[in-house]
Amino acid sequence: MLDRSAEVGIVGAGSMGSGIAQVAALAGHRVIVCDANQETLARLKPNLQNTLTKLQERGKITAESASAALEHVSVSDNLKALSSCGLVIEAVVENLEIKKALFQELEATVSLHTVLATNTSSLSVTAIAGALKNKERCLGVHFFNPAPLMPLVEIVSTLMTSEAQVKAVEALVVNWGKTTVRAKDTPGFIVNRIARPFYGEALRLLEEGVADVATIDWAMKEFGGFRMGPFELMDLIGNDINYAVTESVFAAFYFDPRYRPSITQRRMVEGGLLGKKSGRGYYDYASTAEVPQPRLERPVGELIFRRILAMLINEAADAVFLGIASAKDIDTAMTKGVNYPKGLLEWADEIGLRSVQQTLDALAEEYREDRYRLTPLIRRKLASGEGFYG
C-alpha cells in the first residue's frame, strides 16, 4: 500500500535524488537515501537542512515541518537499508547497464511488493524492467530538475507494468503536490521529445543565416511569449546536456531526420562552450561582455516564430497520433514541465491547423527533407474539420 506510511527509498544522493528526497520527506514519508559515494552522501543532510531553513525563513514551510522533514531522512551506503521500502526511486547516472544492474540488486533486496521506479529522462524504462524477474513492478517516474520546484512528473509505463502499480504511484506523487501526466515508453517520453524542435529548428535557422542568436531568442519571446529563447535556454541547461539528449533521441528513433543533431551544437560542446556553467556558450557571461542586440524586424521575427511553432505543434500532434500521450497530458506537460506559455495543441486550435499545414508543406517542398513531414493526424483533422479540443 503506497500511502504516507510507506517508506521511500532513493538511490542516488546527487541534486535530483536529494530533491526527490526533500519532496517525499515534506509529504511526511520516512526517506532513506542510498549512495556509494561517501562524500556525496555526507553532504546530503547538511544541504537539506540549509534548504529547509531557507524555506522556513521565506514562510514557505513551518519550523515544525522543516524539523520533521529533516528527521524523516536517513542515509546509507548499503542498499539493504531499503529492504522495508514500499517505493524505491533510482536517480543515478544515465547509463543503461548501470541501471539494469542496480535494479537487479534492488529486486534481490526489497520485498515482492516494493515498486521500483526509475527517474531516467532518456533511457528505455522497458529495457530496465526487462532485467527484472518481476517486471510489472517497474515504471518510470520522471521528475524535472529542480525536483522540489518543478511541478511536473511524467509517469511512464512499460509493456509489462501493472496498471495497479501505475495508479498507486500516480496517486502518491499527486499527494506530494505534483502534477502527473502519463506517457508511453518511447524516447524522450513527452517533454524531451516534443521540445526538440525548439532547439533544433532554432539552430537550423542560425546555420542558414536567417537570423543571429539574439534575434531568434527575441522572436520567440516577443511573438510567442516564451520566457526564454532557445539559445538562452540551451545555455542554461548546458549545451553538453542538451546535445547529449538530442543525440540520444536521434539514435533511439533510428535516425529520424526530425531529430538530427546540429553540427553547430557539436562544435560548441567540443570547444567547451557549455553555457552559463562554463562562462560562455551562445552568449558570453563575463561581467565585461557586450550584450548582443537583436535585429528588431517584425517580418523576420514572425517568420522565425511561425516556423519553430509549426514544428513544435507538429511534434505534439504526432505524439497524439502515435498514442504517446493524450492531447491534454501533452499540453499539461509542456506548460508545467518547460513553462511554455500555452499548450501546443491548444495553440494549434487557436492559430488554425491550416496555418501549420501550409507552413510545413512549404518547408517540405523547399527542402525536400523528411524533417518537415506533416503528421497524418493534422491532415485528418483538417479533412474532418475538427480541432484537438472540439
Q: What 3-state DSSP class applies to 136? A: helix
Summarize pLDDT for 242-297 with one digit per residue, the tens: 999 899 899 999 999 999 999 999 999 999 999 999 999 999 999 999 999 999 99
Question: Given pLDDT bands bounded at 50, 70 and 90, which one contains residue 2?
Answer: confident
Q: Is the pLDDT of residue 1 over 80?
A: no
Specify whether 81 is located in the same domain as 216. Answer: no
Residue 53, in any domain of the structure: yes
Q: How confident is the model at residue 205, as a pLDDT?
A: 98
Pairing between β-strand 73-76 and β-strand 31-34 as defined by DSSP bridges: parallel
Specify whether 107 is located in the same domain as 201. Answer: no
Q: How confident is the model at residue 376, as a pLDDT?
A: 98
Specify whether 165 is located in the same domain as 298. Answer: no
Whose cell is 553555457? That residue is 275
Q: Is the pLDDT of residue 168 over 80?
A: yes
Specify whether 170 is located in the same domain as 54. Answer: yes
Summarize pLDDT for 334-361 with one digit per residue, the tens: 999 999 999 999 999 999 999 999 999 9
Q: How confident is the model at residue 214, as a pLDDT?
A: 98
Specify whether 160 is located in the same domain as 267. Answer: no
Domain count along the chain: 2
Catalytic residue among 121, 122, 248, 314, which?
121
Summarize pLDDT for 64-75 with one digit per residue, the tens: 999 999 999 999
134 assigned to active site: no
Specify whether 167 is located in the same domain as 223. Answer: no
Specify whether 179 is located in the same domain as 260. Answer: no
Specify whether 274 is located in the same domain as 179. Answer: no
Q: How confident is the model at residue 122, as a pLDDT?
A: 80
Q: Is the pLDDT of residue 307 over 90?
A: yes
* CB-side neighbour CA atoms (13 Å) of 380: 9
Residue 3, in any domain of the structure: no
Specify whether 251 is located in the same domain as 286. Answer: yes
- Helix (H) / strand (E) element for 87: namely strand 87-90
Specify whether 53 is located in the same domain as 168. Answer: yes
Nine cell digits for residue 26: 515534506
- Helix (H) / strand (E) element for 359: namely helix 353-367
Residue 332, in any domain of the structure: yes
Residue 370 in contact with residue 257, Cβ under 8 Å? Answer: yes
Residue 389, in any domain of the structure: no
222 assigned to active site: no
Q: How confident is the model at residue 5, as a pLDDT?
A: 87
What domain range is 172 assigned to? Answer: 8-184
154 assigned to active site: yes
- Name the domain boundary from 142, 159, 184: 184
Catalytic residue among 122, 157, 192, 314, which?
192
64 assigned to active site: no
Question: Given pLDDT bands bounded at 50, 70 and 90, which one contains residue 390?
Answer: confident
Give the predicted TM-score (pTM) of the model: 0.93
304 or 94, which is more confident?
Answer: 304
Average pLDDT, the chain: 96
Q: Is the pLDDT of residue 384 over 90?
A: yes
CATH number of the domain enclosing 176 = 3.40.50.720
Catalytic residue among 18, 136, 142, 201, which?
142
- The percentage of residues in the chain with a pLDDT greater than 70, rounded to a whole number, is 100
Specify whether 41 is located in the same domain as 124. Answer: yes
